[in-house]
Every structure is written in structure tokens, then in C-alpha cells.
Chain A
Amino acid sequence: MKRFWWLGLFAASTQLTAASFEYPLQPQAIAPDTFVLEGKTADFSKENGGYIVNAAYIVTNDGVVVIDTGPSRRFGEQQRALIEQTTGKKVIRVYITHHHPDHFLGNQAFTDLPIYALPATIQGVQREGETFSNNMYRLIGDWMRDTSVIAPNQEAKLGREVIGGHELELLAFKGHTHADLVMFDHTTGVLFAGDLVFNQRAATTPHANIIDWLASLEQLLKLPFKVLVPGHGKVTQDDQPIAQTRAYLVWLQTLLQQAAANGLDMNEVMATPIPADFKDIALAQNELRRSVAHLYPALEAEQLKPTKQAE
């Protein structure tokens, strides 16, 4: 039997991976009636099941308002079950901050409800949702089981609305994507910033326009919030994550522009060391490599000149 020790290992490993796909959801109370499910500041993996994102909810007198539904069907279902068990109230509506897969792939658990998003977010899900979903199956595997793409079913109405005693204001920005929905709860002073703000986690840029993004951050700073919920990373009671996101984006933009002006090739830019200021930010080198792929082609093309050509 001793020869088959490796079979035992194999069996043990399949048993481990066949463990229940339970996300470690632990509601954090961040303000009256307001909770956050805080994801890890990591990349998608089969270990974390894509729980790398913050989802939030507000328990109003009329029911629960959910902000973002996470990376998979399993996530959305577990999130809804947890909310309804712990609060004893029904979820009444859902808001999706933007069209990235870790923020909306749990929508299947909420199809009986209005799921609100900005029009460009709905279009983004319809256009790119399948690609995102396929990639998520590749990255997190069985955590995605039975997940399919459900686009938000209602256009979010901007401005203020009182829901169950909470005065919620919806604001439309852009920069992280073409449409970034932000919610400000005037009753509690909580700002749900979506992925316009990252905390101790490098900003991601697959659909970013850094100039627009920086302008949006300036606007966020003007809001009289007491609690800030970033899309990724810890909730704070100050504006430090906005300052950090801004500093990182300014550095990134400057780096890419200078590299293009110096004729560097993509791999040379990707190898740039992360400056001391951002050394503690999770995944900075990874995200720099990704950002070069996203943003460098346009900048390097600006540095080329037409040649004299024979017809």
C-alpha cells in the first residue's frame, strides 16, 4: 500500500477543494443601520472565490438597500441570505456601482428586485459581461458555478430620495469606468465611493481615464462625509483613501507619460520599481503591469511621427 501514498494525497486534495463554497461574510457595522462586507485586498483566486471587493447595505425602515452584489451567484445568494437573516428585513433594492465583474455577478440572487445602475453601466454589462464572466470562471473556478450575467434592470435616478428614513443621494461620476455611481447617505454621512476610491490596494485601470478619475476625486472631497466606503480596502472615517488613490494615479500617469516620451517599450515600463510611498499598497507591481497594458498604447502612439513614405 505504501506505493500509493500519492493517491491519498490526491484524495485529500480533492476533499479539500470539494469543501463548501461559503464566503466568509462578516458584516461590519460602520454607521447606524449601515454594514459593509469587506473583501480581501487580493487578486481573484480559487482561494478567495473573488471576495476581494466591498459590498455594503443600509437597513432602512422600509427594507434593505444593497450596494453591489459581488463576484458570483454564490456570493449574491449568501449575501442576501445573510442580510435577511441578520436584519429580519427584506432586501428592497440593489444598486450596482459600475460594470466590473466583482461588483455585479451576484445579481442572479436579486432578479425579483429593482437593480439600479447608470445607463452606461447597463450597456457595459451587456457588452462585456460575457467576457468578464468567462474570465472569472478561469480565475476562481467552481465558486462561479451556475453564475450567469444579469444586467441591472433599472436606470438609476440621480439626486436625492428618502428611503425608509435614509436620505440617499445618487451621483454620477466617471474615470474608473465610463460610469461610476456613488451613493451618499445624508442621514448617516456614509459615502459609498465604489471603485473611484481604493484603500491600501492599487487602483485598477482596465476602463480608466485618469484625467476624468482625478476630477471625480476632487468632487468627492467636497462632500461632507463622515465615513468613507472604498470599493476595495478598509472603511475609514477620513479622506485618506481619496488622497492615496489620487497620489497613486498622478504617479501612474506621470510615469507612463515620461516613459512614452523617452521611447520605452512596454516591458521596460512594467519593470519600473514601485516608489516608497506606495510600497505598502497591495498589488502595486501587478496593477502597474496591468495599467501599462491598458493605458500605454495610446500614450506611446502620441510620441510617434508620420514617416516620409513612397506611394
Chain B
Amino acid sequence: MRPLFVFLLTSLLSPLGWAVDSDPLNSPQWEFVHQRFLKGESYQFDGKVKVEAPADAEDSLNVPISFQVDDLENIQEVVVVADLNPIPQVLRFRPKAMRPHLGFRMKLQQGSPIHVAAKTADGLWHVGGVWVNAAGGGCTLPSVGTASGDWTKTLGKVSANVWQRPDGSSRLRVRVMHPMDTGLASGIPTFHIENLNVLGEDGQLLAELDLFEPISENPMLSFDVHQQKQFKLEGRDNNGNKIQAEVVQ
């Protein structure tokens, strides 16, 4: 009896004691997430994928999530999944010529593990994450814009700014006006931005983003780019509305 008891205690108390292949967040949905969004490909849980979010979400409609994957080379794609959300997939990010960093906000329907998986050139997914507690309800509410009817005036409008960072890089922050309706609020169909590409001034592709329903209304995105100062943004929503903007510092 006693060894089992001690084992139970230590495994509960110390996440470091877990085997590498078991989810440190102990998500009941991890296998589903792995099959569905990582296509069952090989993976390992990896502390090099750093994910930040408040442990308790103050506003279930706007939960800030950010990730940095600095200690891994050649990131092909980063996938963010909220395991217990009715629509789990949040975004897919393919950095082409920018740092594998991203900050954004999302809707949570209930407390959930947030998994962030980064695929390296060898095809292996490196998985990090955090658990966020939330009062919930974020996915089944109409967007503020849809509820008030104001969204048509601002749809697709982009505002942005670029900052010089102390380390010499640039921070690009972008807000695109869009209701981002999930389709889960009664009588309001799915309406969300599907793609958004960030290009350099010369048209060089810096990153591709696929955004899904859980991204918050009027998405606010923070990118860490190299030393560029001018950018183009191109994208569209699931109704075919185009997003096109030029950011000049």
C-alpha cells in the first residue's frame, strides 16, 4: 500500500515526475487533439514552447494568450488548441521570416488546457501549454458588434503600429475589426477571418496565419518581426470579404 501511496502523492505534487509522453496538463482531450489537429504525428511535450496566459481569465471573451518558441530552430508551424472549447482549434501560425512569437486574445467557453504545438523541420511537434480557469460562456455569446449592429461600418478595417524593441527587433501590433462570430450563438452564423498574411514592404511573405472561431472579436495580434518598419496585410474571412492594408511606421 505504502509505495503506491507515495507514488500517487509524488506524481500529483510534481509535474516533473511525469513521463515525457504524458500531458503535463493532464487534459482529458489530449489524444483527440493530437489525432485531430496534429494528425496523429509524433510529438513530445517540451518546455521550450513557452506559453503565457493568466491562470484565471478575467474576461472569457478576451483571454490573452502568447507564446514564444525561441530555443527551437526552423519552426514550420505553430498550432494553438483549447482542448475543452466547443471549437477547440484557435489558430495556426506559419512564421516564414519572423520570430516564432505571437500574442492574441481568445474566447473560452469554460476553463481549459491551452496547448501550443510547434512543428520543427524534422516533423516533430513540440508541445507546451497552460491551464486557464474561466467563468466561461465566451463562445456562445453574440459578438458585441453583431449584437449592436455596428460591425458593418468597420468590417475589415485595420489599425496598427510598429515599435522599435530594446533588442533591435520590431513589434508589430495589428487590430482587424471583425465580429468573429462562432456560429454557436442562436441565429448568428459563423463569421470569422480565415487567413491573414503578413508581408514585408517588398512583398516578401513574413508569416501566414489561419484564424478560427475562438479568436476574440476585433482580433488584436502582436508579432515580433526583424527590423522591418513597413508591412502589408492580406487576408479574407469565410464570407469572402478581403482584408488588405499597408502599415507604415
- B183 on interface, CB distance cutoff 8 Å: no
Q: Please pick, from B62, B103, B156, B175, the residue contacting A304 in the complex, using a CB distance under 8 A.
A: B175
Residue interface bits B49-73, CB-to-A below 8 A is 1, else 0: 0001110111100101110000000
Contact A135:B135 (CB < 8 A) given known A262-B163, A293-B64, A307-B160: yes
Q: How far is the CB of B58 from chain A (nearest CB, A)?
A: 4
- A19 on interface, CB distance cutoff 8 Å: no
Q: Which of B96-115 touch A at CB < 8 Å?
A: 103, 105
Contact A265:B54 (CB < 8 A) given known A138-B135, A305-B159: no
- B48 on interface, CB distance cutoff 8 Å: no
- B34 on interface, CB distance cutoff 8 Å: no
Assembled-state Cα–Cα distance A3/B1 (Å): 8
Number of A-B contacts (CB under 8 A): 88
Assess whether A289 is in contact with B161, with CB atoms less than 8 Å apart.
no
Residue interface bits A273-301, CB-to-B below 8 A is 1, else 0: 00000000000000001101110010011
Interface size on A, residues (CB 8 A): 31
Assess whether B157 is in contact with A301, with CB atoms less than 8 Å apart.
no
Q: How far is the CB of A113 from chain B (nearest CB, A)?
A: 32
Assess whether A265 is in contact with B64, with CB atoms less than 8 Å apart.
yes
Assembled-state Cα–Cα distance A307/B53 (Å): 29
Assess whether A293 is in contact with B173, with CB atoms less than 8 Å apart.
no
Assembled-state Cα–Cα distance A268/B248 (Å): 24
Q: Please pick, from B64, B103, B245, the residue contacting A309 in the complex, using a CB distance under 8 A.
A: B245
Q: Binding site of A, secondary structure by majority: helix, strand, loop or mixed?
A: helix
- A252 on interface, CB distance cutoff 8 Å: no
**Chain A residue at minimum C-beta to C-beta distance from B105:** A266
Assess whether B222 is in contact with A265, with CB atoms less than 8 Å apart.
yes
Q: Please pick, from A3, A267, A307, A308, the residue contacting B64 in the complex, using a CB distance under 8 A.
A: A267
**Chain B residue at minimum C-beta to C-beta distance from A139:** B135
Assess whether A307 is in contact with B159, with CB atoms less than 8 Å apart.
yes
Q: Please pick, from B56, B66, B175, the residue contacting A265 in the complex, using a CB distance under 8 A.
A: B66
Assembled-state Cα–Cα distance A5/B4 (Å): 13
- 18 A-B contact pairs sorted by A residue (CB < 8 Å): A263-B161, A263-B171, A265-B103, A265-B173, A266-B103, A266-B105, A271-B52, A290-B58, A292-B64, A297-B62, A303-B173, A304-B159, A305-B160, A305-B161, A309-B156, A309-B158, A310-B244, A310-B245
